[in-house]
Structure 1
């Protein structure tokens, strides 16, 4: 015990970095390359050699190195003892063994002629005959062969280390560990602090996930009844809905080893690496069982097989998927291992991956509803400094269709906007500006727009607002603006109703509201512009969906050409004939034109109100629901709602009155029964 405690108290040893080996080898090679036998000798000029050494009879030997075009100068022992050469270093090649100096020459023949010319005036005893030496620089030749090979090997090792996870030293980081799993392990020493309390909404998904966590904590509760926990759970939902966050909460709650990695971590350019990493991942998980494996974005390797036939049968991704299928439900036992995976493209996954025994459960993580958005807002505003004006419920109603990631982005943008305005706290308007910023983009108040263009934009947006106000089933209007934002020059903001099904009347009213901008341009100016591009794109898609997908057209009938399996993405042919396609095009055109004619009729009847609304928009640039209501009055939908409420109230009153009348009549009859004599009393009176 004490030894273990001492070991725990010791600081972790620093991991040896292999790059020091490369640096050491490189320095040695450079040193060897620079080293030569005359490294201790000093270089002299021709004049000093002749006047101070040769003529003074101090030279004992001259060695001409042919290959290096260098002359090594050896001084005599008497010369070395003089004070003239006392600065020569001892213990190197500069001592009596020599050479002490060297001279560089242009060519051997020229040096011989110059030396003979200089030594003509010298006595024969003082003349020095040069020696010629053919040397080979073995060090240089070896380095010239070895150094390029070493550089190539070092470069290859560096690239391999980078491709297999970098030089961090983790699993898969070394050259020969390229087939090792790159999963990050979270255990007791490296715990995740996210819990289910940090995950707002997703109540149904959390129930199923918590059951898996509970099984790992208390398996006896289930096994006593003969139950088996699902081997795998697949989290399916749009991006930003909290799938990965839910997996982090499982890691924080489970208190068991948790292996986390992405589907792309299996993919590698080398054959067999993906399958090897799958094997190693499950091997590590078995050693630490019970354990959880989480694969994020599993569609990277789980795509249906057979779609890439052009790539050949030996596809690396398919090999990886085959190995994953084998590990999840093969002959080997994987007891105690639970696999979680997340994707937003479940329709493209291989069927073998989704069958029971592999991913037994598909947990839907949908976009949050109103109450869930309220919970998400409460989580994300906790670290923010907000004031009393912020209404969480109102913000939740203003953000239909927003994911958890969108709401987090809104809260962050609100804080940035408040800081930009030097506020001490974030108020309601900052959140509304953040919603506009996320949906429409940044305001571009400095964008150059002519007065004529601005007028067209104002009537265009006023047309949207007018039609959406006057038709019954269009989404309720929030505000209208002609301030450029993002790519749009103006916008009408609506509050979509959160309905699960939509009927034909509602779809047509939405199409009319979208066509209101172009219709207003034609009615007021007598010509149309390109400003309705996004509107036309929206209604065209919606009209084709009504006719060919939802079966809302009488001529096409109750037929849908929608393919929920996603197989139609890979086919180049349409699921209907050319004649049917022509009929669909004709019906879509009729549907859109009928909606446009209806829209024009509505705006012509209310042309004065349309003009008044557009002028108010030109004046203020931003108008709200109250301004539209002041011009047009209440919406038809609100009238119907009031009428229905009035009918319900009258019906309730009449029902109450009827109930009171029935109760009163019953009470009177009871009283009558009490006052009238019974038959026994009458008979007794007769007998008396």
Structure 2
């Protein structure tokens, strides 16, 4: 293609320039369709003057609203008429003046009286006149509404982009899926996905089926219809789908569930049909629908509002396309959501989504693999210990770890370092979990002392309890909304026993217990502690059945249908409230008792905290001695913060 042809400007209908000729056309019509073109409007006094001078040859009343005045040939030579006669816009034979007379009956009466009184000779006629412009003007509001509607619909469909967007209103029912094929190859593969071993095995089998289907069909197996990736946000569901696109080597259609949602009725179902039609034409192929809960929500809920009809129609069409008559095509549907509990039962059944793959938060080894992937492009110092970082970040998703690595790089750059050090990663953990350090927050010495004893209370009680999480560090540096924090590394337990929950609650109440013991006053600083222990106590009584008085019963409904239903009586509710209060108060008194036994060490710890602002596990060992319940430090842990 030559440069000349390549640089040729394109004038499309999306510009407002197209409306300029239309405007000029209206202006031209207004001139050429007007019978009074070039005439001059006159006042009543001027009309009376030329009437009494007998200069008028003919008066034409048009549409009973105004009069066109024609002047006699000999009178047109007068100076008062020459200016209008010589007007370049005045057409010969056209009226010289236009007069708006007001009431027609009074006008005709005045003309008759003047004609008799002054012996005038002129003709008076009435005429109904219509023009093409008048017809256009009568329809002009409707024309303008249509033009504006077309303009905005063109903008809306054009902004949607994607396949089938096309910038035209007539393509609004087309699929907006992004197609990845041999021309737009995805570079992400399973090598780029750290961890997720079980999930990768499941989707790898789908990829193998598409590459070599005879391996499975010779045994009578059928290609799976779909796989649903379920898991918390940031665990790598979309990344896994990208890896499938990179590995499969077949056409891959990617879109979000919200792409089916539109303000027009029937558009969602139309887009579903168009999507599967395109996928069938390029089969074998894969369709990936991210955030499928946007259209896959259970039907029949909140139906009284009438606002779910369009979404339900879209879901019905999706169900039909995935497993209905005439769907024996090599099209596999992958979908991802973190809200599988609200999906429709018909969507979840075998034959549509044959496999539900749970993508969980990474464990210790998987976190280490994810760290190794994300630190590759970073310039690290020799002090960085990836294994230790993996231990310090349990509960972090893959997205959290990527954010942590980036935050560490920003902190190192902010301090003008040549490489990223291990401390930068620890500071990044503090920044992400605890929030931004508030260096300018003004705290009085009295408040600072209360905060120090509060955090020392957490540290002391947790150090003395067997099942409480071992402490990592304590700080009274304000971060985010907290004025201080105690950092723990508890075990990642699959099940939790009653003693373990009670010890954790006792350690959480240690902060308020220390305030009460030392100052004989309590403050609002224990809000987050109280919220945490209240949730734990309520879960013990109503969810896990760990309370002797309420018994082995749970009021938890995993289907999520108990939002507006109280599954127990008022008398049971009273018992539940009493048991929750008794559990919390019991652990509070237990914490006070522990602190009374070690009050001297509590005071020493608080004073050191006031001096250094941040103390670590080594400081606690010097004050309390080695913890009698100390476990192997390599045990997988979970990072937890108690904040005020």
TM-score (normalizing by structure 1): 0.77
Deviations 1:609-646 (A, max 9, x none): 111221222222222222222222222222x769xxxx
Look up the match of 1:183.
177
Q: CA RMSD in A?
A: 4.4
CA distance in 1, matches of 2:351, 2:259: 24
Look up the match of 1:673.
none
Task: For residue 363 of structure 1, report the CA deviation from its aligned partner.
Answer: 0.6
The one of 138, 141, 146 equivalent to 2:139 is 146
Report matched runs for 1:280-319 at 5 Å: 280-311=274-305, 315-319=309-313
Residues 253 and 167 of structure 1: CA distance in aligned 2, closer, same or farther (over 3 Å)? closer
Look up the match of 2:261.
267
Look up the match of 2:590.
598
Deviations 1:126-182 (A, max 9, x none): x99899896846254223322210122233334545665647585255333443333
Look up the match of 1:23.
19
Report matched runs for 1:45-444 at 5 Å: 93=89, 136=129, 138-161=131-154, 166=159, 168=161, 170-171=163-164, 174-311=168-305, 315-444=309-438
Task: For residue 260 of structure 1, report the CA deviation from its aligned partner.
Answer: 1.7
Unpaired runs of at least 5, structure 2: 48-55, 115-119, 634-644
After superposing the two structures, state which structure 1 stretch, 197-206 or 231-240, moved more. 197-206
CA distance in 1, matches of 2:609, 2:72: 102
CA distance in 2, matches of 1:257, 1:485: 48
Question: Which is greater in Rg?
Answer: 1
CA contact (8 A) 1:328 1:334 kept: no
Residues 167 and 272 of structure 1: CA distance in aligned 2, closer, same or farther (over 3 Å)? closer
**Residues 1:607 and 2:603 are matched in the alignment:** no
Residues 536 and 152 of structure 1: CA distance in aligned 2, closer, same or farther (over 3 Å)? same
The one of 576, 584, 597 equivalent to 1:584 is 576
CA distance in 2, matches of 1:421, 1:128: 103
CA contact (8 A) 2:251 2:285 kept: yes
CA distance in 1, matches of 2:239, 2:140: 51
SS for the counterpart of 2:254 is strand
SS for the counterpart of 1:400 is coil
Deviations 1:340-389 (A, max 9, x none): 11111212222222222111111110011122122222222333333333
Residues 167 and 353 of structure 1: CA distance in aligned 2, closer, same or farther (over 3 Å)? closer
**Residues 1:568 and 2:562 are matched in the alignment:** yes
CA distance in 1, matches of 2:610, 2:540: 36
CA contact (8 A) 2:261 2:311 kept: yes
Residues 10 and 159 of structure 1: CA distance in aligned 2, closer, same or farther (over 3 Å)? closer
Deviations 1:489-523 (A, max 9, x none): 21112223223222222222211111111000000
Residues 624 and 42 of structure 1: CA distance in aligned 2, closer, same or farther (over 3 Å)? farther
The one of 463, 468, 478 equivalent to 2:472 is 478
Task: For residue 535 of structure 1, report the CA deviation from its aligned partner.
Answer: 0.6
Residues 27 and 376 of structure 1: CA distance in aligned 2, closer, same or farther (over 3 Å)? farther
**Residues 1:467 and 2:474 are matched in the alignment:** no
Task: For residue 44 of structure 1, report the CA deviation from its aligned partner.
Answer: 11
Task: For residue 405 of structure 1, report the CA deviation from its aligned partner.
Answer: 1.5
Task: For residue 235 of structure 1, report the CA deviation from its aligned partner.
Answer: 0.2
SS for the counterpart of 2:219 is coil
CA contact (8 A) 2:66 2:101 kept: no
Residues 445 and 106 of structure 1: CA distance in aligned 2, closer, same or farther (over 3 Å)? farther
SS for the counterpart of 1:192 is coil
After superposing the two structures, state which structure 1 stretch, 381-390 or 221-230, moved more. 381-390
CA contact (8 A) 2:188 2:242 kept: yes
The one of 499, 511, 517 equivalent to 2:511 is 517
The structure that is helix-richer by fraction is 1
CA distance in 1, matches of 2:454, 2:569: 39
The one of 592, 599, 619 equivalent to 1:627 is 619
TM-score (normalizing by structure 2): 0.82
CA distance in 2, matches of 1:31, 1:186: 52
Residues 155 and 250 of structure 1: CA distance in aligned 2, closer, same or farther (over 3 Å)? same
The one of 441, 446, 464 equivalent to 1:447 is 441
After superposing the two structures, state which structure 1 stretch, 436-445 or 419-428, moved more. 419-428
Residues 540 and 26 of structure 1: CA distance in aligned 2, closer, same or farther (over 3 Å)? farther
CA contact (8 A) 2:160 2:176 kept: no
